[in-house]
Amino acid sequence: MRRLFILVLALAGTAPAVDWALFRSEPIEVLSNTEKDARQVLATFDQTLWLTAKLLGREEIKPLWPIRLIVVQANRGNSPYKSEKLAPRRDAYTAGLLAGQPVPTALLRDFVTLLLRDDTPPLPAIIENGLITALSHVEVDGNKITVLAPPAAQRNRDWARIRLFALDEEYMGRARVFFSNLHNDSGLEVAYRNSFGSGQQEMEDILNSYFAAGQFLPETIAGKPLNPERDYRPRAVDAQRAQVLLADLLEGAEARKMYQGVLNAGSKDPDAFDGAGLHAEAVENGSKNALAWLRHGLALKAPPKAREAFQRAAQLNPRWPEPHLRLGDLEPTAGRRYPYYKKAAELDPRNTALWEKLAETQLEAKDFDGAGLSFRTAARTATTEQERERLQARQREFEKRRIDLEIAERRRQEEEKQKELEKLQEEALANIRAAEDRARAASGGAAPAKVVEWWDGPRPSGSATGVLERVDCLQGRLRLALRTPDSKLTQYLIPDPSKIVLAGGGEHSLGCGAQKPPRRLKIDYIPKPDAKLATAGEVAVIEFQ
C-alpha cells in the first residue's frame, strides 16, 4: 500500500543544523526536530483522515501522492517556506507551515479535497462541497476530535447536511450507506431512502429545520484510538535528506540552488538529482520516484527506451494514470492505444477530458459500444453544467451516427472478405493454369487426346461423365459438382490442382463458382469418400469434351 507521508520539518534559519526525528503512524509520517509540534500535526492529519474514511464507510483512503508538510520557525528568514496550499512538488503534495501554530484550515481543506479527488468516485457537488467544508474545520486532542462550525460566511445547507450526518446519532450510523449509494450512481432520492428510510424531499425538510435552528456549537466526538506520546515514536533522520525536503518548498532558481548544494556536499540522493532537473542521474542512482522516471522517459528519443521508463513509472505508482497515457501515445494505431487510455481513465475516474479522449480513440478503433459508454461517463463526470451539456450533445450526435458507422464498418469488413476470397480464387486458377501448361509441355504442345501415361500416382479406379455445374475454391483445393446423365449430382475433390492431368480439346481452365455455361467432361478418380466435404473421391484426370 502506498503510504501517506506528512513530513513536518521544524527548523531555525534557512540552513538549519539540527537533529531530525521521524514520527510514524501508518500511513502517515512526520519529520521534525521538535517532538511536540510533530506529534500534534501528525495527530491532526491522522484523525482527519480517519474521520473522512469513517464517514464515507471506507477502510482507508489514500491520496495519489505523498503529502508533505514542512513546519518552519515563525521568523522573517523562513517566510519563503510558508505555503498557502498543498501543491504538487516533485514527488509529493507539499506545503510549509509555521511552528507553534494550529494547522491552517486551508491546508486541511486541501487535504480533504485531495483525499476525495484521488481515491473516491465522484459525488454530487452539493455533497462534496459539504464534506470538504465540514471535515476541514476540526481540532484534535489525542484521540478526541472537536467538530467546529466554519465562519458564518461559509455556512450553508451543503455543510449543514454533512454536519448533521456526522454528529446526529440518528443519522451518523447510516451515513456510510448513503455515501455508498451515491458512489454507485444511485441518485439522491434512492440514496436517502436506502439509508434513512425517507425520500429526498422529507430529508431536505429536516435539513432546512436543522439549518434554520442555527445550533452549531463545537461538538467533541471519539476519534481514532491513539496516544500520541506512546504511539508516535521518533527515529533519527539524516540532515541532508531534510535539506532536500526543505528545498521542495521553494521554486525556480532558489530550489535548484538548494538541491545543488546537497549534491555539491557529496550526496547521491536521487531526489536531489530529481529536484535539480537531472532526471537521468536520478534514475541512475536508484530513484523510486515515479515522476522522475516519467520525466526521464519524456527526454528519451528512442521509443523502446522511453517505453521502459514509462513502464517503470507505472510500477512505482500503479495508481498514477499518466504513465499509461504516455505508453498509449507511443502506439501507432487507435486499436493499440485505447487499452492504455482505458486503464488511465479507470485510474482517474473523475477526469472528464480523459474519458472524452478515450471515447474518441475507441470510436477511431471501431469499438462503438465502448465509445458510447465513455461518452456517457464523460458527461456524468463533468463539473459544470455547460460542460455536461456539451458532452451530452456529443453523445447524442454519436448515437445518431452510430448506425451509419456500424453499417460502414460491416461493409468494410465484407469488402475485405470479398477481396480475400478473390485472392484465393486467383491463386487456385493460377494453380490450374500451371497444371495445364505442364500437360501441354508433356504432350509436345498439343492437347493430349487421352490420359497421359506418365501419371505416377495411385491408379484411378473410378470414372464419371457428365456436366460440370460448379467449382468450389477451398483455400488451395477444388471441389467439382458433376451432374451425370441420370441427373444425379456428385461432388469430387481435387486436393492439389497442380497434380491432376488435363486432357481433351477446348479451353483447359476452371473458374470458381457456377460454370456458365456448364461444360461436359469426363473424370477419372480414386474412390475416397470424405463425409465432411461431401465428396465421393479424389480426381486424378480431367478430360474436357
In the numeric block, the cell 508533505 is attached to 68
- CA quadruple 261, 262, 267, 269: dihedral sign: negative
Residue 235's DSSP bridge partners are: 22
Residue 489's DSSP bridge partners are: 483
How many angstroms separate the CA atoms of 66 and 69, rounded?
A: 10
Name the pTM for this structure: 0.71
Query: What is the full per-residue pLDDT of the chain (545 aa) written as tens digits?
Result: 444 444 444 443 344 445 788 888 888 787 787 788 888 989 999 999 999 999 999 999 999 998 888 888 778 888 888 898 999 999 999 988 888 889 999 999 999 999 999 999 888 889 999 999 999 999 999 999 999 999 999 999 999 999 999 898 889 889 999 999 998 888 899 999 999 999 999 999 999 999 999 999 999 999 999 999 999 999 887 889 989 999 999 999 999 999 999 999 999 999 999 999 999 999 999 999 999 999 999 999 999 999 999 999 999 999 999 999 999 999 999 999 999 999 999 999 999 999 999 999 998 888 888 888 998 899 888 888 888 888 888 888 887 777 777 677 777 777 777 777 777 767 777 777 777 677 777 766 555 444 444 455 567 888 899 988 888 888 878 898 989 888 899 999 998 887 777 776 666 677 788 888 888 889 898 999 988 889 999 988 888 87
How many angstroms separate the CA atoms of 134 and 117, rounded?
A: 16
pLDDT of residue 37: 87
pLDDT of residue 74: 79
How many angstroms separate the CA atoms of 359 and 374, rounded?
A: 5
pLDDT of residue 445: 57
Give me the torsion for CA of 245, 248, 249, 250, rounded to 10°.
130
pLDDT of residue 13: 35
- The CATH number for 398-545, chosen from 2.40.50.140, 3.30.70.640, 3.20.20.60, 2.40.40.20, is 2.40.50.140
How many angstroms separate the CA atoms of 428 and 346, rounded?
A: 50
pLDDT of residue 19: 78
pLDDT of residue 508: 65
Could you tell me the three cell numbers for 352? 472528464
C-alpha angle 396-397-402 in degrees, rounded to nearest 5: 95
pLDDT of residue 456: 54
**286 alpha-carbon distance from chain centroid:** 27
- Are 279 and 299 in contact by the 8 Å Cβ rule? The answer is yes
From edge to edge, which strands make up the β-sheet containing 144-147?
138-141, 144-147, 219-222
- Are 275 and 54 in contact by the 8 Å Cβ rule? The answer is no
Which element (helix H / strand E) includes 234?
strand 234-237
pLDDT of residue 17: 45
pLDDT of residue 506: 60
pLDDT of residue 443: 64
- Residue 454, classified by CB atoms within 10 Å of its CB into exposed (0-12), middle (13-18) or buried (19+), is exposed
How many angstroms separate the CA atoms of 246 and 95, rounded?
A: 10
Short-list 466, 455, 531, CA closest to 493:
531
How many angstroms separate the CA atoms of 528 and 545, rounded?
A: 25
Write down the domain spans for the chain. 20-231, 321-383, 398-545
- Residue 407, classified by CB atoms within 10 Å of its CB into exposed (0-12), middle (13-18) or buried (19+), is exposed
Which element (helix H / strand E) includes 545?
none
Is residue 296 classed as helix, strand or coil in its secondary structure?
helix
DSSP 168-228: -HHHHTTHHHHHHHHHTT--HHHHHHHHHSS-HHHHHHHHHHHHHH-----EEEE-S---H
- Are 246 and 259 in contact by the 8 Å Cβ rule? The answer is no
Centre a 10 Å sphere on the Cβ of residue 209 and count the other Cβ atoms it contains. 9
Q: Which fold has domain 321-383?
A: 1.25.40
- Are 378 and 352 in contact by the 8 Å Cβ rule? The answer is yes
How many angstroms separate the CA atoms of 62 and 118, rounded?
A: 7
